[in-house]
Chains A and B, each alone.
Chain A
Amino acid sequence: MATMVVERGSPGAATDVVRRAQEGDVAAFEQLYRQNLDRVYAVCMRIAGDTVRAEELTQDVFVRAWEKLGSFEGKSAFSTWLHRLAVNVCLVERRSEGIRVGKVFTTDQPEVYESPGRPPDPGQRIDLERAIATLPPGARMVFVLHDVEGFKHEEIARMHGSAVGTCKAQLHRARRLLREALER
Chain B
Amino acid sequence: MITHEQAVGRLDDFAGGELSGRERREVHRHLESCAECSAEVAALRSLLDEARFLPREVAPERDLWAGIAPRLQPRAAEMPVIALHPRSAWQPRRWLLAAAATVAVAVGSSLATLALLRPPAEGPITLTTIDAAQAQPAATSAFAAFAPAEVEYRRAVDELATLLATRRDRLAPETVATLERSLGIIDIAIAEARTALEKDPNSRELAQMLSTVYDTKVRMLQQAVEL
Contact = CB atoms under 8 A, between A and B. Distances in A.
Interface stretch (B96-104, B127-135, B209-217): B96-104
A33 B94 CA distance: 21
B199 to A, nearest CB: 33
Contacts of B170: 161
A24 B61 CA distance: 28
A68 B94 contact: no
A143 interface: yes
A63 B94 contact: no
B65 A24 contact: no
B64 A59 contact: yes
Contacts, number: 115
B68 A71 contact: no
Interface in A132-184: 143, 146-148, 153, 161, 168, 171-172, 175, 178-179, 182
Interface string B20-59: 0000000000000000000000011001101110111111
Interface stretch (A35-43, A101-109, A118-126): A35-43
A61 to B, nearest CB: 9
A172 B11 CA distance: 10
Nearest to B59: A38
Chain A: interface residue count, which band?
A: 35 or more
B64 A26 contact: no
B50 A128 contact: yes
A141 B215 CA distance: 37
A59 B64 CA distance: 7
A26 B44 CA distance: 45
Contact of B94 (A22, A46, A161): A22
Contacts of A128: 47, 50-51, 54
B71 interface: yes
Contacts of A143: 51
A15 interface: no
Nearest to B93: A70
Contacts of B78: 24
A172 B12 contact: yes
Given A33-B65, A37-B64, A70-B97, A24 B76 contact: yes
A51 interface: yes
A3 interface: yes
Nearest to A4: B56
A23 interface: yes
A93 interface: no
B77 A23 contact: yes
19 contacts: A5-B56, A22-B76, A22-B94, A24-B76, A24-B78, A25-B77, A45-B58, A63-B72, A68-B98, A69-B98, A70-B76, A71-B99, A71-B102, A129-B54, A147-B52, A175-B47, A179-B43, A179-B44, A182-B47
Interface of A: 3, 5, 22-26, 29-30, 33-34, 37-39, 41-42, 45-46, 51, 54-55, 58-59, 62-63, 66-71, 128-129, 143, 146-148, 153, 161, 168, 171-172, 175, 178-179, 182
Interface of B: 12-13, 16, 18, 43-44, 47-48, 50-52, 54-62, 64-65, 67-69, 71-79, 94-95, 97-99, 101-102, 170, 222, 226
The 6 closest A-B pairs by CB, nearest first: A70-B98, A24-B77, A38-B57, A42-B58, A147-B51, A24-B76
